[in-house]
Structure 1
Amino acid sequence: MKALKSFVSAAAICAAGAVSAAELEVTHWWTSGGEAAAVAEFAKAFDATEHTWVDGAIAGSGGVARPIIISRIIGGEPMGATQLNHGRQAEELVEAGLMLDLTDIAEAEGWRDIVNPVRLLDACTLDGRVYCVPVNIHSPQWLWLSHEAFAKAGVDVPSDWFEFVDAAPKLKEVGVVPLAMGQQAWQTELAFNAIMVAVGGTELYLDVLSNKNADTAASAEMTKVFEAYDAARRLSEGSNVNDWNQATNLVITGQAGGQIHGDWAQGEFQVAEQVAGEDYTCLPGLGVNEVIATGGDAFYFPLNDDPDIEEAQREMASLLISKEVQVAFNLKKGSLPIRGDIDLSAANDCMKKGLKILADGNVLPDSVNTLSADTRNQIESLMTEFWNDKSVTVEAVQAAYVDIMASAD
């Protein structure tokens, strides 16, 4: 069977080489320093074929880029390939028949045997057909800490979220913002879910976000999560930045003590030539419950009536999941590879922490995989309002959250 898969895969690649070279416009929202370095590895690998990567970076977060991407596809002006998060974001586009079916490539190359965890491939699958190629695993449940900031305050670098909160007054005394936080809605929702894992635990997290249990959302255990989130928003006063990488830079430069953010922050530390364990500390699960949620990015390929474009799309899909490209990209991105069969001995300490957690099976689904875009938008709006309006009480925000979860899909 493996020999047959290899033959079919080789035949597909040869067929791709038989057609004319094509230019593929690739849209994505990777524009920070670390992200740009990572996506350049994809472009370099694709340009080494007979085809050409035409970069279509969209400045801003995914919340800015996704509506533009979706509008173009629906409006009949599709790009050659586009980044989206694997999960439910492209569900309606797939159902409308607007995305290229990659099932033949996935089966020929044995994607189901190499994607780890396999739920990432399931997130690309609808009615048994594969419509995207997952390219990384991103976990949002990390606390990033500046050694410079804590040295300035004369306190030890915390080992978990609770020690971080206890050290916050000392940071304030020396003019350091305890918690850096960008003002985009998805960042505040990310922080809330990370605190839910740390303070509430994994069972509560799963019951709320996977089972959509409104009773659990209304529980006393969940109240503790909201109280911790209330404390967090007060620790961010003075942060005053918008983009996530600007918040990360506050940590890199010692202007802020820490940041709750995803593992893609590693890319910014690497560009700044900081060393994990020496210049900064990374705590998965905020140092309390060492787990990672397996969200991440995938590439979709909108349907195109040009056979040269389609063959180039198929070749790109195969290339993005290849061993060599997975290593080169993820080492720059700070994310974990979706392949379980590659050598990452060059990984830094933070990535090694994530790899061990993944190997141990301490993984959770990300909310992007369990909640519809509409439900997530409602939660993001609620969390942003609560974060920025200190007059909103814990009781009020929890009640509103319960209402959202009661009708979540």
Structure 2
Amino acid sequence: MRLVKTLLGATAITAAASAAYATDLEVTHWWTSGGEAAAVAQFAKAFNEKTDHNWVDGAIAGGGSTARPIMISRILGGDPMGATQFNHGRQAQELIEAGLMLDLTDVAEAEGWKDVIHPASLLDSCTLDGRIYCVPVNIHSWQWLWLNNAAFTDNGMDVPTNWDEYVAAMPALDEAGIVPLAMGGQPWQSSGAFGVMAIALAGPEAWLAVNKDKNADVAGGEAYAKVFEAAAAAREYSKNTNVQDWNLATAMVIEGKAGGQIMGDWAQGEFAVAQKVAGVDYTCLPGLGMNELIDTAGDAFYFPKNDDAEIEVAQKELASLMLSKEVQVAFNLNKGSLPVRGDVDLSAANDCMKKGLKILADGNTMPSGDMLLSPDTSGQIEDLMTQFWSSDIAAADAQAAYAAIIAEAE
């Protein structure tokens, strides 16, 4: 037996292992942009320095929609990695039910994860039948609008404080040769932006009725009609983005080639790499400045089962390390996300992160779509939104198709 001391330094977990040899642990993820790479490097650095093991980076370019099928195929095909990223929610549920994921309950109980992870829904999303199968590492919210301040002030306008003011400024931005709304071509971007607009413009209750209760009448009703009409108007001002990747669209905002972008708070990492200052160079509006709340989406790491006892030891050490105070701070300051621990020092947080922390402290939170919708339903919505944002399909027709998807949702 080998005693594996937790990186929190407070408890110890006993694990079976043959010897204290260093283990190469492959970790797959889709963090490849500048800000993302800087953040994941904090995990790798801590793992290599604080354990006897080696982080083998398995970055997959193209975002989660590209990476997840590859990850799942490897696990199902008997070629599991040591650890893999998924989002909070139901993405790994079938793998857990198939018995392919390592049970982390012993680590979680020994280290008191229930006492430090906030909100509790994050750990709940890792739990199935009372057992814990993943470690949440951050809180990422889609509910943000990012604006380049100079794009407005240099053209004689005040920086908008909400969506309505932003929309009113779009014609002037367009006239000045600035893309009003940057929208990359990856399917998840258009789907995510629509979800943000739904919460901001239709309101949280309507959004929950659709995504949680699967109420097709609300999806096809007046509240959502306003969202589809607003999205149809906004897409006219996003057509000249001409990039695929989300970070390239964010770069357009950073460089002043675009006025704004609806994107999750991971965009902060790109502004940080570009050495831009929140509140000076750019403005962030939670809830589009309309309904100031955040969703508790984010990233979690799962550990596929492996027959090698040494690998299991390394897996549990990494799970422990990812929730340690020091690593939580280092990772999230680089990532632009909020920590899942409620007991860490974030005095170095910038203005945008402080906004998110206050919203979180006030309890103005929502579950994410990933927590409520099956991967199949999410995929159907992504396909619809890709078609909607890239064509002239009428708002009413897109809404009817959307309501039909919700009516059949699991």
Asked if 1:43 is matched to 2:44, the reply is yes
1:244 to 218, 243, 246: 246
Which SS does the other structure have where 1:153 is aligned? Answer: coil
Q: 2:142 aligns to what?
A: 140
Q: 2:33 aligns to what?
A: 32
Distance in 1 of aligned mates of 2:378 and 2:74:
22
Q: 1:75 aligns to what?
A: 77
Which SS does the other structure have where 1:191 is aligned? Answer: helix
User: In the superposition, relative to structure 1, how do residues 7 and 258 fare at CA in structure 2: closer, same or farther (>3 Å)?
Assistant: closer
| Conserved? CA contact 1:34–1:333, under 8 Å | yes
User: In the superposition, relative to structure 1, how do residues 14 and 7 fare at CA in structure 2: closer, same or farther (>3 Å)?
Assistant: farther
Offset at 1:276?
0.2
1:211 to 213, 217, 231: 213
Distance in 1 of aligned mates of 2:123 and 2:47:
22
Deviations 1:79-130 (A, max 9, x none): 0111111210000100000000000111111111111111010101111100
Q: 2:222 aligns to what?
A: 220
User: In the superposition, relative to structure 1, how do residues 229 and 97 fare at CA in structure 2: closer, same or farther (>3 Å)?
Assistant: same
Q: How does 1:393-404 map to 2 (within 5 A)?
A: 393-404=394-405
Q: Which structure 2 segments of 5+ residues have no match? A: 1-5
Q: Normalising to structure 1: TM-score of the pair?
A: 0.96
Q: 1:112 aligns to what?
A: 114
Distance in 1 of aligned mates of 2:384 and 2:81:
33
Offset at 1:151?
2.2
Q: 1:260 aligns to what?
A: 262
Which SS does the other structure have where 2:86 is aligned? Answer: strand
| Conserved? CA contact 1:120–1:134, under 8 Å | yes
Q: 2:310 aligns to what?
A: 308
Q: How does 1:233-382 map to 2 (within 5 A)?
A: 233-382=235-384
Deviations 1:202-252 (A, max 9, x none): 111111111111111111111001111111211102111100000000000
The letter of the residue matching 1:300 is Y
| Conserved? CA contact 2:17–2:309, under 8 Å | no
Offset at 1:154?
1.5
Deviations 1:301-357 (A, max 9, x none): 000011110000000000001111000000000000000111101000000000000
Asked if 1:19 is matched to 2:16, the reply is no
Distance in 1 of aligned mates of 2:227 and 2:390:
17
User: In the superposition, relative to structure 1, how do residues 134 and 166 fare at CA in structure 2: closer, same or farther (>3 Å)?
Assistant: same
Of all paired residues, the percent bearing the same amino acid is 65
Distance in 2 of aligned mates of 1:257 and 1:7:
44
| Conserved? CA contact 2:18–2:309, under 8 Å | no
Distance in 2 of aligned mates of 1:271 and 1:208:
37
Q: 1:10 aligns to what?
A: 11
Distance in 1 of aligned mates of 2:399 and 2:21:
57
Distance in 1 of aligned mates of 2:7 and 2:45:
25
Offset at 1:7?
11
The letter of the residue matching 2:177 is G
Which SS does the other structure have where 2:145 is aligned? Answer: strand
Q: How does 1:151-230 map to 2 (within 5 A)?
A: 151-230=153-232
Corresponding pairs, count: 404
Distance in 1 of aligned mates of 2:10 and 2:320:
9
Q: 2:3 aligns to what?
A: none
Which SS does the other structure have where 1:140 is aligned? Answer: coil
Distance in 1 of aligned mates of 2:223 and 2:28:
41
| Conserved? CA contact 2:160–2:166, under 8 Å | yes
The letter of the residue matching 1:71 is S
| Conserved? CA contact 1:6–1:108, under 8 Å | no
Distance in 2 of aligned mates of 1:19 and 1:305:
17
Q: Which has the higher helix share?
A: 1
Distance in 2 of aligned mates of 1:89 and 1:230:
30
Which SS does the other structure have where 1:235 is aligned? Answer: coil
The letter of the residue matching 1:322 is S
The letter of the residue matching 1:161 is W
Which SS does the other structure have where 1:376 is aligned? Answer: helix
Q: Which structure 1 segments of 5+ residues have no match? A: none
The letter of the residue matching 1:37 is A
Distance in 1 of aligned mates of 2:191 and 2:72:
22
The letter of the residue matching 1:331 is L
Q: 1:149 aligns to what?
A: 151
The letter of the residue matching 1:258 is G
User: In the superposition, relative to structure 1, how do residues 353 and 7 fare at CA in structure 2: closer, same or farther (>3 Å)?
Assistant: closer
Superposed CA RMSD: 1.6
| Conserved? CA contact 1:137–1:296, under 8 Å | yes
The letter of the residue matching 2:85 is Q
